[in-house]
Amino acid sequence: MRLPRRRVGLIALVALTVLALDLVTKVLAVEMLQGREPVRVLGGAVYLQLLRNPGAAFSMGTGLTWLLALVAIAVVVAICWIARKLRSRGWALGLGLILAGALGNLADRIFRAPGVLRGHVVDFVSVFAPNGQVWPVFNVADSAIVVGGVLIVLLTLLGREFDGTTAKGRAAKTASEPESAPQEDA
């Protein structure tokens, strides 16, 4: 049986593309929204507003910025480790999105004020109302993490494995293999 090619290149392409988009939009948000009132877009469905978030989603963990940075580093390392065994396009897309999001917000935590591993993440999209009244203000990196996470959950529910196999295919292969004789304890 010929295995599908590894998908490291797809992860890298997705991650680099989305990371570049995240970084460019954050630079533009800081440049164009600093000191301005929220900008109403699409009839109020979206508001562009610059906020600097020291915490995680919903501004939770605002005193744990350094820990959030370390978690992001762990996520990046885990995805790089998994990438070697990855053979699924869907998983590559999902992990590439999560990698981009983790790197985008990690860059803020490392390079933005107030300092290394304590930097505040630039958020600038608020939906349905300004100031995150309906939903927390977010950025491209946050969106990538959510979309990537949803995709991976969906693939898991559908039985698609990161190595390119399906849960059904793996069960059939295991059932067709001869049983080995039980080993006695030495």
Active site residues: 123, 142
- Bond prior to 182 in cis (omega within 30° of 0): no
Radius of gyration, CA atoms only, the chain = 21
**Exposed/middle/buried for residue 87 (C-beta within 10 Å: 0-12, 13-18, 19+):** middle
Report the DSSP beta bridge partners of residue 126. Answer: 47
Residue 60 neighbours by CB distance under 10 Å: 10
